[in-house]
Amino acid sequence: MTTSAAPLPAARGTDQRDDEQLSSTGSDPTASRRSATLSGGAAPWLFLTPYLVLFLAFVVGPAIYGFWISLHDYDYTLPGKPFVGLDNYQKLFSSDSVTFEPFWMSMKATGIFMLFSVPLLLVIPLLVALVMNSRFRGRNLFRAIYFAPYVLGVAVVAVLWRFLLDANIGLVNQLLGGLGLPDDTAWLTATPAAWVALVGVTVWWTLGFNAVIYLAGLQDIPAELYEAARVDGANRSQSFRHVTLPGLRPVLAFVTMVTIIASANMFGQSYLMTRGAPGIETKTAIYYIADTGLKSFQMGDAAAMSYLLTVVLMLLSVAVFWLFRERKA
Partner 1 sequence: MSEHMATNGFSRRRFIELGFGGAAATALAACGGGKSAQDAATGNKSTAAFNGKYDGPAVTLSYWNGFTGGDGPFMKQLVNEFQQENPKITVKSNTVEWAQYYQRVPAAVTAGKGPDVGAMHLDQLATNAARKVIVPVDDVAKSLGLSESDFTPEVWQAGIYKGARYGIPLDVHSLGMYYNKDQFQKAGITEAPKDAASYEDALGKLKSANNNEPFWMPSKWPAHLMFLSLLWQFEGAPYAEDGSKATFDSDAGVQALTWMADVVKKGYSPKNVAQDSQYVAFKNSKLSVTWDGIWQINDLKASKLPFALAPVPVIGTTNAVWANSHNFYITKQATGDDNKLQASKVFIDWMSKKSAEWAGAGMVPARKSVRESAQVQETTQAPIAAEIAQMKFLPPVPGLGDVQAQTLEIAVADAILGKQAPAAALSSAASKATKLMEANQKKFGA
| Residues near partner 1 (CB under 8 A) | 2-3, 5-7, 10, 62, 65, 69, 73-81, 98, 102, 150, 153-155, 162-163, 166-169, 184, 186, 188-190, 205-206, 209, 257-259, 261-262, 265, 267-268, 274-275, 277-280, 290, 293-297, 299
CB nearer to partner 1: give 243 or 299: 299
Least CB distance to partner 1 at residue 3 (A)? 6
Distances, alpha carbon 81 to alpha carbons 71, 73, 85, 112, in Å: 10, 5, 12, 35
How far, in Å, CA of 69 to CA of 248, rounded? 42
How far, in Å, CA of 15 to CA of 31, rounded? 20
Least CB distance to partner 1 at residue 287 (A)? 10
How far, in Å, CA of 178 to CA of 170, rounded? 13
Which residues lie below 8 Å from residue 277, measured CB to CB, with a gap of 6+? 188, 189, 194
Least CB distance to partner 1 at residue 213 (A)? 9
CB nearer to partner 1: give 195 or 209: 209
Question: Apex CA 72: angle with CA 68 and CA 75, to 5°?
Answer: 110
Least CB distance to partner 1 at residue 77 (A)? 4
Least CB distance to partner 1 at residue 68 (A)? 11
Q: Alpha-carbon dihedral of residues 128, 133, 134, 139, nearest 10 degrees?
A: 80
CB nearer to partner 1: give 239 or 263: 263
Question: Most distant CA pair in the chain: distance in Å?
Answer: 78
Q: Tell which residue, 171, 299, 176, 321, has the closest CA to residue 250.
A: 321
CB nearer to partner 1: give 46 or 59: 59
Least CB distance to partner 1 at residue 28 (A)? 31
Least CB distance to partner 1 at residue 150 (A)? 6
Question: Residue 144, Cβ neighbours under 10 Å: how many?
Answer: 11
CB nearer to partner 1: give 145 or 294: 294
How far, in Å, CA of 44 to CA of 40, rounded? 9
Peptide bond into 192 cis (omega under 30): yes
CB nearer to partner 1: give 111 or 278: 278
How far, in Å, CA of 308 to CA of 302, rounded? 10
Buried b (16+ CB within 10 A) or exposed e, 203-241: bebbbbbbbbbbbebbeebeeeebeebeeeebeeeebee
CB nearer to partner 1: give 55 or 93: 55
Least CB distance to partner 1 at residue 40 (A)? 29
CB nearer to partner 1: give 27 or 77: 77
